[in-house]
Amino acid sequence: MSGPHISPTIADLRAQVKDWRRQGLSVAMVPTMGALHEGHLSLMREALSRADRCIVSIFVNPAQFAPTEDLDKYPRQLERDIERLAEVGVQLAFTPTPAEIYPAGFATKVSVAGPSAGLETDFRPHFFEGVATVVTKLLLQAAPDCAVFGQKDYQQLCVVQQLCRDLDIPVEIIGAPTVRDEHGLAMSSRNAYLDEAQLTTARKLNVILRTASSAISRGADPEQEAAKAGQALLDAGFRSVDYVAARESGSLGPWQPSAEGRLLVAAWLGSTRLIDNVEIAAVA
């Protein structure tokens, strides 16, 4: 089993893509921060189903971490990640250093309004500017036909879709379904921080969300159900809840009963912050 070509520089990445284009091949991209799990691999399989070649970027982006956050302890396992890319059949791994992405003198930031308002921004005001900046760079560096992002990071997906629409970046942004373990817990690199007792608690998150979503879709008041879900998380053993909120699926504006929506959550379990979301069906 041959592994992917490894491109540590933008110049090498572009040379590989240019060669594929000469051959008339289509290209998909999956941006990641590494520590790859089955959720990531599902994005790559989706990418490979849509294009002849798949690029996976592995880059822990310092611009989206605040000084108090877990940049230094974020799991890094590049050798194992490359093995996993080979298992799926990914053709290229883009593995730049921070200096390659943000060279000396770098002074530009990309800010997206609209779907970035509230939710994550209320607690991590730096986050989406860091995401939007690095995603813009990655899409311009690789120039893929499409890029696949997971719906687990639902607000991020909406921000990236808005970014590409507004800046006329000719890349189709595809949202792939959240991959969950057998207990319903959304796959996340940060799950590695949880011990067995915490994992048992974490697996209640999706159940609580789905209970609230079902009640809302049957006509219950969304704010009341969100508050009940937040209290249920605390009762289940979560340390604190940043938000539980019902929003419209596309704009992330306030949810209306006639529209499909998302119930989104961010909650702390010990020192680990977990996020998730589930669909809210339009009220019949």
266 pLDDT higher than 90: yes
pTM of the model: 0.95
According to the annotation, is 189 in a ligand binding site? yes
Q: With cut-offs at 50, 70 and 90, classify the pLDDT of residue 284.
A: low
pLDDT, tens digit (0-9, with 9 covering 90-100), for 202-252: 999 999 999 999 999 999 999 999 999 999 999 999 999 999 999 999 899
Quote the pLDDT of residue 121. Answer: 97
pLDDT, tens digit (0-9, with 9 covering 90-100), for 92-114: 999 999 999 999 999 999 999 99
Tell me if residue 79 falls in helix, strand or coil: helix
Read off the DSSP letter of residue 126.
Answer: T
Residue tagged active-site, from 5, 40, 126, 183: 40
Tell me if residue 142 falls in helix, strand or coil: helix
According to the annotation, is 227 in a ligand binding site? no
Domain range summary for the chain, segments of one domain joined by +: 5-176, 189-278
Could you please state the CATH topology (level 3) that the domain comprising 189-278 is classified under.
Pantoate--beta-alanine Ligase; Chain: A,domain 2 (3.30.1300)
According to the annotation, is 188 in a ligand binding site? yes
Tell me if residue 29 falls in helix, strand or coil: strand
According to the annotation, is 153 in a ligand binding site? yes
Average pLDDT value over all residues in the chain = 96
1 pLDDT higher than 60: no
Q: Of 29, 79, 88, 18, which Cα lies nearest the Cα of 54? A: 29
According to the annotation, is 42 in a ligand binding site? no
Q: Where are the beta strands (DSSP E) in the chain?
A: 5-7, 27-32, 53-58, 92-94, 146-150, 172-176, 240-248, 261-269, 272-280
Among this protein's residues, is 40 annotated catalytic? yes
pLDDT, tens digit (0-9, with 9 covering 90-100), for 120-131: 999 999 999 999
Distance CA 117, CA 173 (A): 20
According to the annotation, is 242 in a ligand binding site? no
Q: What architecture is the 5-176 domain classified under in CATH?
A: 3-Layer(aba) Sandwich (3.40)
pLDDT, tens digit (0-9, with 9 covering 90-100), for 27-86: 999 999 999 999 999 999 999 999 999 999 999 999 999 888 878 888 899 999 999 999
Quote the pLDDT of residue 205. Answer: 98
Which residue shows structure tokens 């294009």? 51
Q: What is the number of residues in the chain?
A: 284
Q: With cut-offs at 50, 70 and 90, classify the pLDDT of residue 2.
A: confident
